[in-house]
Amino acid sequence: MSNFTVGIVVFPGSNCDRDMFWALEGCLGIKTKFIWHESSDISGVDSIVLPGGFSYGDYLRCGAVARFSPLLNSLDDFVKTGRRVIGICNGFQILTESGFLPGALTTNKNLDFICKDCELEIISSKGSWFNSSNNKINLPIAHGEGRYFCDEDTFKELSDNDLIALRYLNNPNGSSYDIAGVINKGGNVLGLMPHPERACDNNIGGNDGIFTLKSLIEFS
């Protein structure tokens, strides 16, 4: 366990990579390693975080350019080995753009950049990403383009396979079916708009994010 290393991917424009470092190393004592987006060598890490931010400026669409980075090319094999990957905010956008998770993320319904705490309902226990003894958790969101979109067929597939991770109790951004996060069929890839790394200390933002970050090492 002590040698377990979580890789934090750094794209040009990532801005939650340091938050993640602080949460994992500072709050939870989990060893981390920053991985530059041009590296395709991810053999030395046991799980991977795609952090929030604005990768490559997000000029075309959020996450659209990041999917072509050398690192993302290596991610497919990494996921197939069953190792865990979490994409938060921009990381979630990258995971949908690159096809690891279904759906897409686009501009918030009200056009606002929303930065606030959100009450979330835990829907799926697949992958054990959330503490199943809680039905609800509070995590902060901070995004302008976090409206999850999926059509009816995709929603049915998500529901039938128990792939909806989290739902907003008060949908802040117009997401389809109140979805805030989804999981892949293997259970080892999670994408979510809320920021668990900003909820790892009771003094700042609560601690509802701890379980999810710890699960990067405990359930691998």
Partner 1 sequence: MNQFEAKVSIRLRPSVLDPAGEAIKSAATKLGVQGINSLRIGKLIEVNLEAKEEKEAKEKIELLCDRLFANKVIEDFDYDLKEVNE
Task: Report, in Å, the least distance between residue 182 CB and partner 1.
Answer: 13
16, 150, 195, 200: the active-site residue: 195
Minimum CB distance to partner 1, residue 188 (Å): 22
Collapse the DSSP code of 21 into the 3-class scheme (helix H, G, I; strand E, B; otherwise coil) and give the result.
Answer: helix
Annotation says 195 is catalytic: yes
The CB-of-169 to partner 1 minimum distance in angstroms stands at 21
With CB under 8 A as the contact rule, which of the stretches 75-83, 109-117, 127-135, 155-163 interacts with partner 1?
Answer: 109-117
- Residue 207 beta carbon to partner 1: minimum distance, rounded to whole angstroms: 34
The CB-of-154 to partner 1 minimum distance in angstroms stands at: 8
Q: Nearest 5 degrees, angle CA 192-CA 194-CA 200? A: 115
37 is catalytic: no
CA 113 vs CA 52, 58, 167: distances in Å: 14, 15, 19
CA 12, CA 66: separation in Å to the nearest integer?
A: 9
Say whether residue 174 binds partner 1 (CB under 8 A): yes
Say whether residue 155 binds partner 1 (CB under 8 A): no
Q: Which residue out of 62, 89, 118, 150 is catalytically annotated?
A: 89
- 147/195 with CB nearer partner 1: 147
Cα 19 to Cα 133: distance, rounded to the nearest angstrom: 26
Q: Can 197 be counted among the known catalytic residues?
A: yes
Residue among 22, 84, 7 nearest 210 (CA):
22
What are residue 7's DSSP bridge partners?
33, 48
Q: Which of 183, 47, 198, 49 is nearest to 122 (CA)?
A: 183
Q: Find the binder of partner 1 among 5, 25, 31, 64 (CB under 8 A).
A: 64
DSSP letter at 57? G
By CB under 8 A, residue 136 contacts partner 1: no
Say how far apart CA 167 and CA 12 lie, in whole Å.
30
Q: By the criterion CB under 8 A, which residues form the site for partner 1?
A: 60-61, 64, 68, 96-97, 102-104, 106-111, 147, 149-151, 174
Active centre residues (catalytic): 89, 195, 197
